[in-house]
Structure 1
Amino acid sequence: MNEEVDFIMDTTKEAMDSAIAHLEKELRAIRAGKATPAMLANVMVDYYGSQTPLGQVANVSTPDPRTISVQPWEKNMLQPIEKAIQIANLGFNPMNNGDIIMINVPPLTEERRIGLAKQAKAEAEHAKVGIRNARKEANNEIKKTDISDDSKKDSEAVVQKLTDSFVKIIEDKLSIKEKEIMTV
């Protein structure tokens, strides 16, 4: 293949990989029944005037499947961390005992499970849109190249195969997450 086309393929694959990475990050944030530190991964804490990820100001662990424990490295960070967890609107009620913050993760109701499954589907759809946009961009770039029409058609077919394989990855990740969410 042409060097220009190889570059387009590499760029497209990178864009598609990034869509998958984003999907994985979003799916990790959707809780699936048992407590995990990843549930608090998107919580940002006001740390001396700058927004800092919770994991950089405290140790987040799960002592049991229904509890998340947050132990700040500095005792004066208890209040800002508690406030940040409440602001994150995750549906958790943090309890501060003076040393650590404990969060009891309530079991999911059937209605909540269905809602979370819908949320996971929506995230998967966003990822598919990202994949399709990368495909469209690649096809537009291929059309601009100065290669033969047959080569352009072949290159577009390769882009479509790449797109199909990434969409399949998204479908697989979604079905795994849905099964995880719906399992009681």
Structure 2
Amino acid sequence: ICEKLIDKYPKQFEVLQQPFKYDYMEGLQEIPIISKTSNGYIMWYVRSIIENTIKTNNLPNLTIAQIDALDTLDQVINEFRESIILKHGDVLIVNNHKALHGRLKFLEGDNRLLYRIWISSPASQKLPNSYSTLFRHTDQGCYRGGVWSDDFELNQISTNINLAKEQIKKLVISD
């Protein structure tokens, strides 16, 4: 996606590297959609959060250049889109920084369980500092956070990856 944006849409690519406002988890944050790291580019993109942030925080509307960049990004993403269907018992593991993903809305009354665990192996890349408000820790080889039930505080999990694995395993098995 980044290669296509660089090649065909360099102006939009440049805009996507500027901070966008997100009201997500820890409050109002500014994070670029595309960030350059030592291992290439990574992306964090949820257009609905950007648009809702503007509405709910009474912020100025996106500029024409920002809207064009988001529209172009959506168009390029759709060119690469693939669908999968998960069945009962399936587990999906996604590298949030190398693959964009989404899902259709769950049906009302659908019995589902969803835990998001953000971990980083020792071989993972260090994230840009702008990501620290999303993932707590940006270093390699650490537990970075996740989305759990309201009854569970994320700061109860160690940043040490081996200890975090054991703590998370106990939590998931006990649920």
More helix by share: 1
Measured against the shorter chain, the TM-score band is under 0.3
Q: Which has the larger radius of gyration?
A: 1
TM-score (norm: length of structure 1): 0.24
